Amino acid sequence: MIDTDDPRDRVSSAPMIRDVAIVGAGFSGTLAAINLLRHDGARVTLIERAPVAGQGLAYGAAHPGHLLNVRASNMSAFPDDHDHFVRWLDANGLTRAADQFVERRTYGRYLRESLTSAIDRAGSRLALVQGDAIDIEQAAGVTVRFSDGRTANADAAVLAVGNLPPHAPRGLDPTRLSPRRWKGDPWALGVADGLDDTDTVLVVGTGLTMVDIVLLLEARGFGGRIVALSRRGLLPHQHVPVAGSWTPITQRPRGKASQLLSGVRIRAEAIGWRNAVDELRPYTQAIWANATTAERVRFLRHLRPWWDVHRHRLAPPVAARLADLQASGRLEIIAGKTMRVTESEDGIELQYRRRGAEDPSRLFVQRVINCTGPQGDLTRTTEPLLAALARRGAVRPDEEALGIDVDSATRVIGTDGLPNPRLYALGPMTRGAFWEIVAVPDIRRQTWDLARRLANAHWVGGEGL
């Protein structure tokens, strides 16, 4: 990134922020823009490459079978107004009990209407720009450059790029497969096209993305066989009604990760594993921030899959549908790892090794869909904007290569090791610093906090005193 000042001044000097450019109008970017206006902050240029802003991939690519994984009562876009979403449902004739799991398409509509209302109230203070941002340069302020040659100037920029497509799993070389057979991005158009009921589809991964793709295939009328493969073959658990009364912990657990795991197991025996995991929610970011690099690496290598399936759960109707598909034989879950793939005219032969087995197994399929989950390794990204910033040293990977390195105030840290007060990041790409930053309850708080800082509203009420 071009910087005409001594980089040491970036930390000590707080630039005057009158205009903010936000790249990405999914959940994170949309909420950051709305909150800046709510706090009477800077003027906003909200940039989105897709034709429709205010919904992002999670809600824009949804179909009726895709439900929220969080109950409506905890899906307000605003941390200071917990009933906002439930009231919106009521006002739109979509009255549901607060503990229901509504369609993701409905939530996308909620976000779009919230953005539209903000634009109507803001007038010229919020400009929505459709375009593909490919670079951000910095001098006195920042300049966002678009693929068509246009530019947008601001005092600061916010990267709200959401999740990146998954990397190809080990043992599978996509360059040797045709686009008709290999779908590396599960959300790309046409992922379910061209199949018939005699085909077999391999889904690599058994997490929430796999669940969405299975439901998508079924919604598109696919009646063939689906095989889902991951190293451990773990499926996300489902939400259940809270049973009995219990008192959550009131302080962050201390000690090493191994001690924390032991403590969670003990609590799970006393109050149930769902409650034991849920009571950690207020503390997980602090636990992650205080963990050593070695502890984080061990967690990611050995415990992450188990955490994911317990922490990120399915709506009960979705879990029931998966169980039905498994019982009928249309969906098979396999624990194993890919070894080699070979494409022929009729399909793809996969060689894989089942977990615990010595000899390889083989599977013949007509399509492979990569559902290994979003990735954020900047050294492997093909996203033009992030690649350009990484090449110039304006952004760097976090230590675990989960996303963009940021400080506690979400200021981006470059290769010089200093936080940049003119460049921020939000959402899943900051998981290296915060870990728990992929769900609505966490991101809404992050966007709220950043908007308050940029608007100097964090000093109100003694928060900064």
Question: Structural domains in the chain?
Answer: 9-164+375-462 (3.50.50.60), 174-236+313-370 (3.50.50.60), 257-311 (no CATH)
The token duo for 114 is: 């919230």
Tell me what percent of the residues of the chain surpass a pLDDT of 90.
63
Q: How many CA atoms lie within 13 A of 26 on its CB side?
A: 21
Spatial neighbors of 297 by CB under 8 A, at least 6 apart, are: 400
Alpha-carbon torsion angle 8, 13, 19, 25, nearest 10: 60
Global pTM value: 0.90
Please check the confidence at residue 403 and state whether its pLDDT lies above 50.
yes
Please check the confidence at residue 11 and state whether its pLDDT lies above 50.
no
Closest-CA residue to 1 (of 390, 435, 444): 390
Tell me: the pLDDT tens digits for 54-70?
776 666 666 777 888 88
Task: Label residue 2 by pLDDT band (50, 70, 90).
Answer: very low
Alpha carbon distance 144, 156 (integer Å): 10
Instruction: Using CB atoms within 10 Å of the CB of residue 268, give its burial: 0 to 12 exposed, 13 to 18 middle, 19+ buried.
Output: middle
Alpha carbon distance 384, 398 (integer Å): 19
Spatial neighbors of 212 by CB under 8 A, at least 6 apart, are: 66, 186
- Give the mean model confidence (pLDDT) for residues 170-179: 88
Tell me: the pLDDT tens digits for 88-130?
999 998 877 778 899 999 999 999 999 999 989 888 899 999 9
Please check the confidence at residue 36 and state whether its pLDDT lies above 70.
yes
Spatial neighbors of 5 by CB under 8 A, at least 6 apart, are: none
Q: For residues 354 and 64, which has the higher predicted lDDT (pLDDT)?
A: 354
Contact 124, 115 (CB under 8 A): no
Please check the confidence at residue 444 and state whether its pLDDT lies above 90.
yes
Closest-CA residue to 209 (of 284, 312, 303): 312
Strands 361-365 and 348-354: antiparallel
Tell me: the pLDDT tens digits for 120-169?
988 889 999 999 999 999 988 999 999 999 999 999 999 999 888 888 88
- Give the mean model confidence (pLDDT) for residues 414-430: 97
The token duo for 15 is: 């630039």
Q: How many other CB atoms sit within 10 Å of the CB of residue 14? A: 10
